[in-house]
Amino acid sequence: MAISHGWRASAVGAFLIGGTALAAEPATDTSRPEDARQLGAVKVYSEDEGPSYTAPDATSATGLTLSLRDTPQPVTVITRERIEDQAMENLFDVLRNTNGVSVQAVDRGRSTLAVRGFEVNNFQFDGIPTSLYIDNNPATALFERVEIVRGATGLLNGAGDPSATVNMVRKSPDSHTFTGSFDAEMGSWNQLTGTADLTTPLNSSGSVRARWVAHYSEQDAFLDYEHTQTTAFYGVIEADLGERTRLRVGATDQSDRRDGVLWAGLPYWYADGTRTDFSRSDSTATDWNQWDVDDRNYFAGLTHSFANEWTLRANASYTTNDDEERMLWMWNVPDADTGLGMEAYPYHYFGGFTQHHFDVIASGPLSAWGREHEVTVGLMQSKLDETWSNRDAVDPVPSFPVGDFNEWDGTYTEPELGPRYEASRYVTTQTAAYVAARLQITDPLKLIVGARVENYEMDAGARVWVPEAFTVTHDGVFIPYAGIVYDLGERYSLYGSYTSIFKPQELRDRNGDWLEPLEGDSFEVGVKAEFFEGRLNASAGLFRVDQNNFGVEDFGFFVPPNNTDPAYRAAQGVEADGYELELAGELTPNLDLSFGWTQYSAQDAEGNDVAIDDPRKQLKLFTKYQFTRGAQGLSIGGGVNWNGPQPARALNPGTGEEELIGQRAYAVVDLLAQYKFSDQLSAQLNVENALDEEYVSRNTGWWGGPYVWGEPRSFRVSVAYAFR
């Protein structure tokens, strides 16, 4: 959970699948303790050993290592192969292609994430909870895969929305020989990208292993003035300290440099209430806009496996985030003829956070009632310290008028700024204990139960944006979890789950008061299927979420005293229900497929739509076919992301009436062509938005419902070399 400029921020179908596939077994590493398991453990599969667009198991829902079929919630795993096939360079690229996830650009530096209409604010690295601002976008060069568990996951994460948890599983040093890969990429708008990934043993036995990843990318943009540059580094060492003990230490460092970046979007209306028609290259940015973000994460984990097959794990992590922004905030609506009427205010923000996290987890088998079960018990503590400071213009803003916005070219005199002052500081501490168990009630029936007890405290110091200090405390919050899985033979199973919802909110109303915590319940039922020994997974499910105190935008009102952040009101009796379908893996040894469909509604007790900035229907499809005859080495693929219409509404400044402004339904088509010259060398072409579909995303809570154009058609050509 994080503060960022006021942004806190129905059928179950049967599966009929044909075809054949090779059997797959998980890769093993004889140097590791046989029973040692780590949250988010990485399993690496070659093309001939296992799945490419799916995975056999995940831990992100309950902390138990469960197969996707045995997890009583929908789980999507974006594998390394899929990341590379679709040239997903960062986390937002991954989530745009994930079933049920809506990614909406706030501007060119921030995006909001939502599932089932609710904000995604639970993130993990290797199963360890972490904070991400909406302007943080980790590079996928560091990841082996990304797990997305949809629905409420308070058992492991505590306070949060009933949306999803995103677990970014980083690469591991899993080789006893020197291996590595290099790839280079060129693309539209002067894109240049390079990545090096090396793994090596550090001693003759291979009991100590290391892996290093270095990634660099820079690019202009389809918008005027913008240039971005990203550097990311990752290093990790694993050491077997004996037959049953393993130590893992590492660090990541990512820096994003963004110049001339668009902040807050383009105005949707002219002053007379007619709609604007700006080109995709237009921007409100200046030539001196700057948005720099630095993220560092340091982590260590110790795992010991006992003779009775129980495992004890201790994890610690420390995360820092630094954010500096020299930006021009532009708002209001221009006159259609003269271009006059836009207002501007310069900011020089400094912000970020530090986070400490520590946990101890014990897990293992338990024999009772003549059957074998699995139990995990954990203790954890997290402390998040967030600060923001600012510099304002010395002279009044009207001294620097925008002028004719129709002729805007990014030239704007940067005004003299005053001294830096502390704007806000929030310190949030969560301490929790949890237990989860998989109980084998009968041969076909499994019961997954758990509970978390949490103490939550947020201290806000008196600062310019927070006139009076205050503390929010919630002690002994009880979050239950219950799931059931019933096997219908070797391939199919029924599942159901329940958990409660608790989230202290960082939203304020028109009087400046904080909204009460979000509370409610989340329910899921469905059917899952597993084919070809796990190489193809399918699921279909119904979900329902009931909530109170859900924050919705209070149109036309802003939070005092600065009156720039949109105000919110607490909606009661909010109900969201819908269904999801998903199919991922290998249809044949030559054909990989990922398909997902999501549909839902979200309304309050009066029948008003809530969570209006996100589409109610989504289809995500991507497939790849590998030729084995005639054109051996060639693979072709393609897919479509279809988003249904958004129910977004806003006040028309010309008429004073509330209007529907949501983006109509649209589809983005992506294409892939890949050729392997050998096992080591390959080349690839990706075409994104191949039909050059025009679409926008918007945020309804700001002046005039500003919008941001989606990316036009673009091309990427890459060459990769790997050695073993």
Digit-coded pLDDT (tens) for 181-217: 999 999 999 999 999 999 999 999 999 999 999 999 9
Among 592, 652, 562, smallest CA distance to 272 is for: 652
Largest CA distance in the chain: 82
- Amino acid identity, position 284: T
Quick one: how far is CA 559 from the chain centroid? 28
How many Å apart are CA 689 and CA 699, to the nearest integer? Answer: 22
Q: What is the pLDDT of residue 16?
A: 28
HEC readout, 430-493: EEEEEEEEEEECCCCEEEEEEEEEEEEEEEECCCCCCCCCEEEEEEEEEEEEEEEEEEECCCEE
Parallel/antiparallel/unpaired status of strands 707-709 and 649-651: unpaired
Q: What is the pLDDT of residue 699?
A: 65
Cα of first residue to Cα of last residue in the chain, in angstroms, is: 41
Percentage of the chain lying above the pLDDT 90 cut:
60
Written as six digits, the tokens of 337 are 């003829």
- 164, 148 in Cβ contact below 8 A? yes
How many Å apart are CA 653 and CA 343, to the nearest integer? Answer: 15
What's the predicted TM-score (pTM) here? 0.89
5 dihedral zone (left: phi>0; alpha: psi -120 to 50; beta) = left
Write down the CATH number for the domain with range 57-723: 2.40.170.20
How many Å apart are CA 52 and CA 168, to the nearest integer? Answer: 17
Q: Please report the DSSP string for 253-295 in residue order.
A: EEEEEEES---S-B-SB-TTSPBP---TT--S--TT-EEEEEE
Residues whose CB falls within 8 Å of the CB of residue 30, separated by 6 or more in sequence, listed in order: none
Q: Which residues of the chain have pLDDT under 70?
A: 1-51, 59-62, 154, 157-160, 396-400, 562-564, 699-705
Q: What is the pLDDT of residue 617?
A: 97
Average pLDDT, rounded, for the chain: 87
E strands, 332-408, are 343-368, 371-391
How many Å apart are CA 152 and CA 163, to the nearest integer? Answer: 6
Written as six digits, the tokens of 483 are 């799931």
Among 432, 345, 349, 433, smallest CA distance to 386 is for: 349
How many Å apart are CA 81 and CA 645, to the nearest integer? Answer: 31
How many Å apart are CA 407 and CA 339, to the nearest integer? Answer: 8
How many Å apart are CA 321 and CA 295, to the nearest integer? Answer: 5
Q: What is the pLDDT of residue 399?
A: 60
Q: What is the pLDDT of residue 181?
A: 97
Q: What is the pLDDT of residue 401?
A: 78
Residue 467, preceding peptide bond in cis (omega within 30° of 0): no
H or E element in which residue 80 lies: helix 80-85
